[in-house]
Amino acid sequence: MQDGFVGRSVPRREGHDKVTGATAYVDDLSLPGMWHGVTVRSPVARARLLGVELGEGVPWHEFAIVGPDDLPGPNVVKLIDTDQPLLAADEIRHCDEPVLLLAHPDRAMAERGRAAVRLRLEPLPAVTSLDDALRGDVVVWGRDNVFREYRTAKGDVDAALADPDVVVVEGVYETGAQEQMYIEPQGMIAQFDAERGVTVRGSLQCPYYVHAALVALFQLPPQQVRVIQTATGGGFGGKEEYPSVIAAHAAVLARKAGHPVKLIYDRVEDVRATTKRHPSRTHHRTAVRRDGTLVAMDIDFIIDGGAYLTLSPVVLSRGAIHSAGPYRCEHVRIRARAIATSHPPHGAFRGFGAPQSVFALERHLDVIAARLGLDPAALRRKNLLQPGEQTAVGQVVREPIALDRVLDRALALSHWHERRAAHEAFNRSTDGPLRRGIGVATFMHGAGFTGAGEVHLASVAQVQAERDGTLTVLAASTEIGQGTNTVFAQIVADAAGLPLSRVRVGQPDTAVVPDSGPTVASRTTMVVGTLLRRATASLRQTLRDAGLLPAGTGPVDPEVFTQAVARYLADHEQLRGEARYEPPPGIAWDEKAFRGDAYASYAWAAYVADVTVDLRTAEVRVDDFVAVQEVGRVVNPVLAAGQIEGGVAQAIGWALFEQVVYRDGRVANPQMTNYIIPTAVDTPPIRVEFMPPFLGDDAPSKGIGELPMDGPAPAILAAVQHATGAVPTAIPMLPEQLAQVLQEAQS
Amino acid sequence: MIDIELVVNGRSQRVHAHPLARLLDVLREQLGLCGTKEGCGEGECGACSVLIDDVLVNACLVPVGQCEGSRVDTIEGIGADPRVAALQRAFVDVGGAQCGICTPGMIVAASALVRTRPRATPAEIRTALAGNLCRCTGYVRIVDAVAQACGAGESEGGA
């Protein structure tokens, strides 16, 4: 459909409200009689909780106070496991764990109350590093501090590593925690009514996750729990699972207070208490021929899950699957473990484990290239997956991929060969403090839930025709900045053959929309967008079957459509099209063997970073960045490029600026003053290009949200290596850390 | 508590507040102007950017007592200037706003530039916006939008 809206950069639907300040976020809302909630938290990483004392000088009788005994149901945050309590009851397992909830009509008084609560604690030994957790002297989870372990293998890795004709290269690569640092802190407003049940509205990605958590806590029928997403000021995964905790806290306070309760985190509380990207450590041992052919990969991937299991097994799984990259290799063994520590639980953050393992592999390839004296781009090209070949977990790539073309395009746009030579000449001849370098990363990112996840979700989306002939999109997918509203309208308008103005996309409200699954895993456009197209087609079919609309899938005269809907609704209560997820044929994942079709589709990319390193200050400046990817059909080029640019900037932050400092298990830098995200002067021009789809112009769209998080960090560190000759193996690589790496390289 | 008179978006207002109350809270809670956002509460993120007598400030750092007799312009009012309205349109067209939470502050900060420095270069725009954090866009399209509104038409690249 060449004349449709898909493929065009139609403006963001809610754009006008956002640029005029009219958009209302949760903290902009106020309900009559609303109180303000606060959370009392643990100041230590691990302790026995002996008691809670309410200090003097506070009118406690004016407060609603909720402890673990005041909950209406199980003291559990409903996720994969049931190990995490909503409020710590006997044992504190991480710093800033919630212990007691307070609400008061006056916000300042609520804060006074929080400051006056004293926790009686008996300290217990904490585990504040991966090494401590692995040593196991102190066990904080299960028998061995291991939340989950996956193993998968193909070929004979040990024999291949022992082959005298190969070079074996070994390396250890580490990544730090990363704070999502959405500019809107987390928050919820809850109402409780004994007859009508619970209503919460707030900043969140996944309405039905919050819904499930509240149904479990309040033990109410699902229709008595209502979750409404308010305009959400960024999520990046940070508002995937944690909002369930805040919603539950606000709701139990509202029940106790008999008033609506607003619970908004300030920045310090948000950074300290909510989830971050999992820190990781990856050990690679690789057998490679002298010409650069990869023969065997032995990979040990570890992530720090924090104090509770939360979503760590799924993060681990995605990280493990991506750990061998888009490369051909006959012998591969992967061992992946999520480890328990006394850190606040790490959680979802754009990329979900893949950026960590991709960083390690791409860094390792540069180490191999240096060892063999090969151009890093040439080494990658030699090993890129071809159509019909298998990934590390045995998935056969059915698509006619041409990752070499993606790489070629990135090299051409970045003038790789010329700049590489020019930088080397400059570095050889200069007497000054500046060094220049260029680095590349090639990678893939699987979109949608891992393995059988989408089948289990069984997502549903609907389209409803209104009497005025407009269509309303009914989906639980949230607009969090990425463009859901706009993209959905484009897809539905085209499927209906109607103008864009005839399609409405409302704010998700579980009282109105079906469960389309969570807004995560780059799945919204790819999975839910496809459901909406099918739902719209089904609605059209209903009108055709009723003899009210002519056959065909092309444009429809809006007046004809309006009349058809009006006639249909004269005899029927409503007109809806619905679609439920169906897996693509021939897709199978074996969770036990950890093998098979891990994702229904992959996006493919090659990124190039060009940097300057100042040897005096050890500062790295990214001068230019090229991001080339194949993502199937691009629904909205401006929004899609915006996703890539934003992801690249976040990854630049992860690589060079953003260090979460844990001191005794507590975040020591929970402010924007001391946790530094990139500003406009820290980010380069980011040159984004989408390749023509491998499957042609009518190719389905793939997920893109997480993809740009994977490539930048290794490309930047590769460029630093090219510039300086030193081999940085860990991020974040702040000047302090790079200075040390440079010093070690000299001695 | 004191009475403070100030001119907000061209209208005279009298507010009754503690002199050390943050201008941000007075705007949001007493005057109902919620377009000014709080991202950090310590002057780092710029989401609460407003103009006081045409000077760009972070409203979270300004005690309202200092605003006696001042003109305060917020996102709700600055679009009355056609150059700022053009800037707002450019943000929508070019893709300068994603989640939108930093956008009001970003536009207030850029409005000063649009008014005073037509044909600002991308480097000047980046420097002028360095006090406003955005976590969504990578700044590329924000810079493009401001450049477009400045009439420079100069782009740094992108799709």
Is A184 in the B-facing interface, judged by CB distances under 8 Å?
yes
Single-letter residue type at A747? S
CB–CB contact B125 A650 (8 Å): no
Query: Mutate which of B49, B139, B141 to test chain A, going by most A C-beta atoms within 10 A?
Result: B139
Among chain A residues, the shortest Cα distance to B47 is held by: A183
Q: Which CATH number does the domain A31-124+188-264 belong to among 3.90.1170.50, 3.40.50.10300, 3.40.50.620, 3.40.1190.20?
A: 3.90.1170.50
CB–CB contact B47 A183 (8 Å): yes
Cα(B63)–Cα(B110) distance, rounded to whole angstroms? Answer: 23
Sole residue written with tokens 């710029």: B46
> What was the ipTM of the complex prediction?
0.97
CB–CB contact B139 A480 (8 Å): no
CB of A489 within 8 A of CB of A502?
no
Q: How confident is the model at residue B156, as a pLDDT?
A: 60
User: Is pLDDT at B153 greater than 80 in this prediction?
Assistant: no
Residue A609: which of A425, A377, A390 has the closest Cα? A377
Among chain B residues, the shortest Cα distance to A652 is held by: B138
Query: Mutate which of B136, B144, B146 to test chain A, going by most A C-beta atoms within 10 A?
Result: B136
Q: How confident is the model at residue B152 (pLDDT cuts 50, 70, 90)?
A: low
A positions 216-245 inside 8 Å of B (CB): 231-236
E strand spans, A592-696: 595-596, 601-614, 619-630, 662-663, 666-667, 686-690
Query: Nearest C-alpha of chain B: how many angstroms from A477?
Result: 14
Among chain A residues, the shortest Cα distance to B45 is held by: A672
Residues 6+ apart with CB under 8 A from A571: none
CB of A393 within 8 A of CB of A692?
no
Query: Nearest C-alpha of chain A: how many angstroms from B39?
Result: 5
Q: Domain A280-450+591-746: give its CATH architecture.
A: 2-Layer Sandwich (3.30)
Query: Nearest C-alpha of chain B: how many angstroms from A604?
Result: 17
Domain boundaries, chain A: 15-22+459-580, 31-124+188-264, 280-450+591-746
Residue A704: which of A423, A448, A390 has the closest Cα? A448
Residue A13: which of A473, A488, A478, A461 has the closest Cα? A488
Where chain A has pLDDT below 70, the residues are: 1-2
CB-CB neighbors (< 8 A) of A180 in chain B: 135
Q: How confident is the model at residue B155, as a pLDDT?
A: 54
Domains contained in chain B, CATH given:
2-77 (3.10.20.30), 79-149 (1.10.150.120)
User: Is pLDDT at B157 greater than 50 in this prediction?
Assistant: no
Is B86 in the A-facing interface, judged by CB distances under 8 Å?
no
CB–CB contact A680 B126 (8 Å): yes
Cα(A31)–Cα(A603) distance, rounded to whole angstroms? Answer: 44
Q: Domain A15-22+459-580: give its CATH architecture.
A: 2-Layer Sandwich (3.30)
Is A607 in the B-facing interface, judged by CB distances under 8 Å?
no
CB-CB neighbors (< 8 A) of B110 in chain A: none
Cα(A422)–Cα(A630) distance, rounded to whole angstroms? Answer: 29
H or E stretch including B139? none
Structure tokens at A169: 């290269």
Structure tokens at A219: 């033990």
- Cα separation values, B70 from A160, A597, B8, B60, B61, Å: 76, 64, 8, 16, 16
Model pLDDT for residues B121-142, shown as the tens digit of each residue: 999 999 999 999 999 999 999 9
- Cα separation values, A100 from A51, A52, A96, A189, Å: 11, 8, 11, 18
Model confidence pTM above 0.80: yes
Q: How confident is the model at residue A13, as a pLDDT?
A: 97
Is B65 in the A-facing interface, judged by CB distances under 8 Å?
no
**Topology alike, domains A15-22+459-580 and A31-124+188-264:** no
Cα(B138)–Cα(B141) distance, rounded to whole angstroms? Answer: 8
CB-CB neighbors (< 8 A) of B138 in chain A: 642, 645-650, 683, 686
Pick from A19, A28, A671: CB nearest B107? A19
Is B3 in the A-facing interface, judged by CB distances under 8 Å?
no
Single-letter residue type at A118? R
CB–CB contact A641 B74 (8 Å): no
- Cα separation values, A405 from A1, A363, A401, A693, Å: 26, 22, 9, 12
For B62-68, what is the mean pLDDT? 97
Cα(A291)–Cα(A399) distance, rounded to whole angstroms? Answer: 28
Model pLDDT for residues A696-747, shown as the tens digit of each residue: 999 999 999 999 999 999 999 999 999 999 999 999 999 999 999 999 998 8
CB–CB contact B34 A21 (8 Å): yes
